[in-house]
């Protein structure tokens, strides 16, 4: 009665990328270092097994990668002396890391005068010098079986490595990742960033992905973040890729006892964006905040998928994600909270809200609780709808034109999410980005 088992042939798009790995692997940074080679090989295997996941794979139920699969990508060959115009967000006085098409560009970065105990290096350099300390982080935090992060492991050429010594307050550091697509062919790059905070260290990281040019590129990013006991990382991410870009990101975080990971992700760019976060709380009293907003217009597709693993008692996690959709945009939120048997006294909260502003927009949400401990307090909420008619009426009755009234309400909705960012200057940056987005989109009458 069982259907014959069909062994799927590896799809051409997948084998093309695997061929690239086979051809490059002797020249990639860290080649011939056994553990690096093994790590790349595991990644290639995960990609071979999973390929570009289809919608039949539960984790990709709502995101269709066929446009990505059908695009033929070439190597990003940027002349090392190119001096692109940096986005205005790259300003400020703090230390700055510039990645150009996924490559660490020391010449464009601002790394002089770093405090003691703050190290910022290029992953390619560290891999070439066989820095053994990397072993505890690289490939150790991101799940090994995910296909696209697997491809990243196989092909990663560079990335930023930030290491803060125990007890050091590193202030602010800015990452400016710039994607530049040539207009005649599509390029792909697979940067891998590592952030390691020693016990009691703290850092505020502004992490921006910006795009330039009219062409198509694919940024397939993986970031691995390790927070030692009592460390504190504020991670504000602004994803503002080029309109025709593909952006797939996995941020894997390990939070040890009493440490805190406080993040906010604003998604406003790329034609197809998948922002995946896997966070594991490994020690008591660790805290996690995974907030964000997705601004999706036109034909764009934005997907936020998070997995929070409570693997220790007395931890807290909370999450608020808001999505605004216009045009024919599609938004996805998938959030899973997994509470292990040992994780008694867990406090978990999750809220996702979506605002649909056009008849053709679509939102798919899947909040999920998986709980194996009994002494826990976990809840989630989800709402989907349009702007409140009463609120609109109230504003209009006070003489505010409809378009403006809508703007006020949409901004209020988003400000509510952005207000979760404690740093005032960062809040301003994010609000400026949401305002700019709202000014750009076509307003349906």
Partner 1 sequence: MPAVAETLETVRDVTQGTYKWGFETEIEQEVIPKGLDEDVVRLISAKKQEPEWLLEWRLKAFRAWQSMTEPTWAAVKYPPIDYQDAHYYAAPKAKADGPKSLEEVDPELLRTYEKLGIPLKEQERLAGVAVDAVFDSVSVATTFKDKLAEVGVIFCSFSEAVREHPELVKRWLGTVVPYGDNFFAALNSAVFSDGSFVYIPKGVRCPMELSTYFRINAKNTGQFERTLIVAEEGSYVSYLEGCTAPMRDENQLHAAVVELIALDEATIKYSTVQNWYPGDAEGKGGIYNFVTKRGACRGRKSKISWTQVETGSAITWKYPSCILQGEGSVGEFYSVAITNNFQQADTGTKMIHLGPNTRSTIVSKGISAGHGQNTYRGLVRIMPRAKNARNFTQCDSLLIGDQCGAHTVPYIESRNPTAKVEHEATTSRIAEDQLFYCRSRGLTEEEAVGLIVNGFAREVLKELPMEFAVEAQKLLAISLEGSVG
Question: Residue 421 is encoded by which pair of tokens?
Answer: 């960012």
Work out how close the CB of 409 gets to partner 1 at its nearest, in angstroms, rounded to a whole number: 13
Work out how close the CB of 382 gets to partner 1 at its nearest, in angstroms, rounded to a whole number: 4
Residue 31 or 387 having the CB closest to partner 1: 387
Distance between CA atoms of 212 and 348, rounded to whole angstroms? Answer: 39
Q: Which residues are bridge partners to 339 per DSSP?
A: 310, 371
Residue 372 or 394 having the CB closest to partner 1: 372
Q: Which of 438, 96, 89, 443 is CA-nearest to residue 293?
A: 438
Work out how close the CB of 296 gets to partner 1 at its nearest, in angstroms, rounded to a whole number: 13
Work out how close the CB of 378 gets to partner 1 at its nearest, in angstroms, rounded to a whole number: 4
Question: Residue 34 is encoded by which pair of tokens?
Answer: 């056994």
Residue 245 or 356 having the CB closest to partner 1: 356
- Residue that has been written with the tokens 């002797």 in this structure: 26
Binding site for partner 1 (CB under 8 A): 1-3, 58, 62, 341, 344, 354, 356-386
Residue 61 or 185 having the CB closest to partner 1: 61
Residue 202 or 304 having the CB closest to partner 1: 304
Radius of gyration of the chain (CA): 22
Distance between CA atoms of 352 and 333, rounded to whole angstroms? Answer: 8
Between helix 12-24 and helix 147-155 the angle, nearest 10°, is 30
Distance between CA atoms of 84 and 120, rounded to whole angstroms? Answer: 22
Contact 220, 250 (CB under 8 A): no
Question: Residue 379 is encoded by which pair of tokens?
Answer: 């809840």
Work out how close the CB of 410 gets to partner 1 at its nearest, in angstroms, rounded to a whole number: 13
Work out how close the CB of 357 gets to partner 1 at its nearest, in angstroms, rounded to a whole number: 6
Q: Which of 282, 224, 280 is CA-nearest to residue 257?
A: 282
Contact 27, 40 (CB under 8 A): no
Residue 144 or 373 having the CB closest to partner 1: 373
Distance between CA atoms of 337 and 306, rounded to whole angstroms? Answer: 8
Work out how close the CB of 364 gets to partner 1 at its nearest, in angstroms, rounded to a whole number: 5
- Residue that has been written with the tokens 């009691």 in this structure: 200
Residue 3 or 77 having the CB closest to partner 1: 3
């Amino acid at each position: 009665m069982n259907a014959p088992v069909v062994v799927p042939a590896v799809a051409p798009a997948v084998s093309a990328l695997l061929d690239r790995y086979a051809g490059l692997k002797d020249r990639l940074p860290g080649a011939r270092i056994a553990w690096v080679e093994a790590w790349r090989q595991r990644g290639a295997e995960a990609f071979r097994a999973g390929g570009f996941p289809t919608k039949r794979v539960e984790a990709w139920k709502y995101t269709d990668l066929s446009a990505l699969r059908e695009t033929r990508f070439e190597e990003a060959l940027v002349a090392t002396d190119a001096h692109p115009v940096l986005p205005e967000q790259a300003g400020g006085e703090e230390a700055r890391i510039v990645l150009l098409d996924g490559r660490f560009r020391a010449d464009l970065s601002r790394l002089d005068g770093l405090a003691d105990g703050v190290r910022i290096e290029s992953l390619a350099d560290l891999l070439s010098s066989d820095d053994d300390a990397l072993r505890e982080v690289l490939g150790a935090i991101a799940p090994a079986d995910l296909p696209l992060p697997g491809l990243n492991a196989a092909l990663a050429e560079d990335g930023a490595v930030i290491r803060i010594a125990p007890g050091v307050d590193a202030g602010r550091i800015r990452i400016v990742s710039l994607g530049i697509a040539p207009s005649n062919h599509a390029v792909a790059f697979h940067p891998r960033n590592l952030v390691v905070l020693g016990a009691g260290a703290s850092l505020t990281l502004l992490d921006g992905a910006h795009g330039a040019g009219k062409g198509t590129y694919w940024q397939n990013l993986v970031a691995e973040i390790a927070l030692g006991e009592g460390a504190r990382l504020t991670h504000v991410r602004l994803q503002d890729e080029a309109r025709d870009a593909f952006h797939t990101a996995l941020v894997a975080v390990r939070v040890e006892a009493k440490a805190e990971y406080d993040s906010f992700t604003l998604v406003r760019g790329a034609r197809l964006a998948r922002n995946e976060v896997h966070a594991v709380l490994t020690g008591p009293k660790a805290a996690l905040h995974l907030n964000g907003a997705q601004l999706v217009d036109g034909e764009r597709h934005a997907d936020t998928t998070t997995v929070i693993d409570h693997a220790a008692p007395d931890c807290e996690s909370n999450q608020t994600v808001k999505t605004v959709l216009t045009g024919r945009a599609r938004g996805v939120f998938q959030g899973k909270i997994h509470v292990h048997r040992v994780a008694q006294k867990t406090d978990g909260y999750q809220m996702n809200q979506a605002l649909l502003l056009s008849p053709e927009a679509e939102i798919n949400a899947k909040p999920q609780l998986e709980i194996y401990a009994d002494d826990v307090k976990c809840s989630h909420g989800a709402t989907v709808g349009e702007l409140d008619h009463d609120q609109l009426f109230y504003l209009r009755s006070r003489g505010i034109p409809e378009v403006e009234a809508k703007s006020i309400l949409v901004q209020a909705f988003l400000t509510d999410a952005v207000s979760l960012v404690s740093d005032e200057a960062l809040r301003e940056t994010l609000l400026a980005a949401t305002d700019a987005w709202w000014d750009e989109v076509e307003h349906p009458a």
